Amino acid sequence: MIRTGIIGGAGYTAGELIRILVNHPNVQIQWVHSTSNAGKAITSVHQGLAGDIDMLFTEAIDYSQVNLVFFCMAHGDSKLFMQANAVPASVKIIDLSNDFRLFGDHDFVYGLPELNRELIKKSARIANPGCFATGIQLGLLPLAAAGLLEDEIHINGITGSTGAGQKPVASTHFSWRNSNVSVYKAFTHQHLGEIGQSLNQLQNSFDKDINFVPVRGNFARGILITEYTRCEITQDALRTLYCEYYASHPFVHVVDKAPDLKDVVNTNKCFVHVEKHGNKALITTVSDNLLKGASGQAVQNMNLIFGLEETTGLRLKAVAF
Q: In Å, how far are 37, 44, 134, 141, 147 from 240, measured between CA atoms?
A: 50, 49, 21, 14, 15
| Helices 192-202, 131-145: crossing angle, 10 deg rounding | 20
- How many angstroms separate the CA atoms of 188 and 202, rounded? 23
Q: Where are the domains of the chain?
A: 2-128+294-305, 131-287
Q: Does the active-site annotation cover 72?
A: no
Indicate the CATH number for domain 131-287: 3.30.360.10
Domain 2-128+294-305 CATH class label: alpha beta
Q: In Å, how far are 26, 27, 51, 237 from 23, measured between CA atoms?
A: 9, 8, 12, 41
Phi, psi dihedrals of residue 126, rounded to the nearest 5° = -120, 130
Three-state secondary structure string covering 109-122: EECCHHHHHHHHHC
Q: What pLDDT score was predicted for residue 148?
A: 98
109-110 and 68-71 as β-strands: parallel, antiparallel, unpaired? unpaired
Q: What pLDDT score was predicted for residue 165?
A: 60
Does an H or E element contain 181, and which? none
- How many angstroms separate the CA atoms of 89 and 96, rounded? 19
CB neighbour burial string for 38-53, b if at least 16 within 10 angstroms, e if fewer = eeebbbebbeebeeeb
With H, G, I as helix, E, B as strand and everything else as coil, classify residue 62.
coil
Would you say the CATH fold of 131-287 matches that of 2-128+294-305?
no
Residue pLDDT, tens place only, 247-279: 999 999 999 999 999 999 999 999 999 999 999
Ranges in the chain, pLDDT < 50: none
Q: What pLDDT score was predicted for residue 170?
A: 65
Residues 6+ apart with CB under 8 A from 76: 97, 99
- How many angstroms separate the CA atoms of 140 and 98, rounded? 20
Residue pLDDT, tens place only, 7-48: 999 999 999 999 999 999 999 999 999 999 999 999 999 999
- How many angstroms separate the CA atoms of 25 and 306, rounded? 13
Q: Which residue among the candidates 72, 131, 231, 270 is catalytic per the annotation?
A: 131
CB 206 within 8 A of CB 145: no
